[in-house]
Amino acid sequence: MSDSTRHPDSCIFCRILEGKEEGTFVYRNSKASAFLDIHPLFEGHTLVIPNDHFVDISDVSEDTLAEVMKVAQIVSNLMIKNLHAEGINIMHSTGRPAGQTILHFHVHVLPRRTGDDTEFQRWWFSRSHRASRQELSSMVAKLLP
Ligand code: 5GP
Ligand code: ZN
């Protein structure tokens, strides 16, 4: 269900936006904001969120999503210019099984450098199973019935 108001009583990110909790802001405009993650995976790890409360990828409006990604690009460019990041990961989780812990839509922007965390890289590339043509056909048939 779409719900684009703020939830300052129940949502920590709405509280940060309202100035009721501390937030270290990197960028703000009328539609989206970026602030440092309190548990940084890498130095400069930033969260970009809509200023209105949307829960997840299926809830967020199309124009807000576009604005969040524009801000993610602005933050990425700051990281490249000022933190000398050599690469960027942009990550998002929708739903608890995917690891979403804060139910206010957000993307993580992670500045990366060569060799900064080989475990992180190993995790990403560990999906080594190569699907057969049959498996791929069966998957797409389920996705597009
Ligand atoms: P998720 O797991 O939902 O994708 O990411 C939520 C992120 O929010 C986590 O990386 C967590 O460290 C961050 N976070 C949780 N509470 C706070 C907070 O009060 N302030 C800030 N700046 N980040 C938070
Ligand atoms: Zn919220």
> Which residues does residue 90 pair with via DSSP β-bridges, in sequence order?
109
Residue 86 located in a structural domain: yes
Does the beta carbon of 98 sit less than 6 angstroms from any atom of ligand 1?
no
Which residue of 16, 21, 37, 46 sits with most ligand 1 atoms within 8 Å of its CB, as the best mutation to test the pocket?
37
Residue 114 located in a structural domain: yes
Bridge pairing between strands 46-50 and 87-91: unpaired
Does the beta carbon of 102 sit less than 6 angstroms from any atom of ligand 1?
yes
Task: Find the CATH number of the domain harbouring 48.
Answer: 3.30.428.10
Q: Which helix (H) or strand (E) holds 73?
A: helix 62-82
- pTM of the complete model: 0.93
Band the pLDDT of 1: cuts 50, 70, 90: very low
Which residue of 13, 35, 39, 75 sits with most ligand 1 atoms within 8 Å of its CB, as the best mutation to test the pocket?
39
| Long-range CB pairs of 6-12, under 8 A, 24+ apart, other chains included | 6/52, 6/53, 7/53, 7/104, 11/53, 11/102, 11/103, 11/104, 12/102, 12/104
Residue 2 located in a structural domain: no
The residue range of the domain holding 129 is 12-143
Q: How many domains does the chain have?
A: 1
Residue-wise pLDDT for 80-92, tens only, equals 999 999 999 999 9
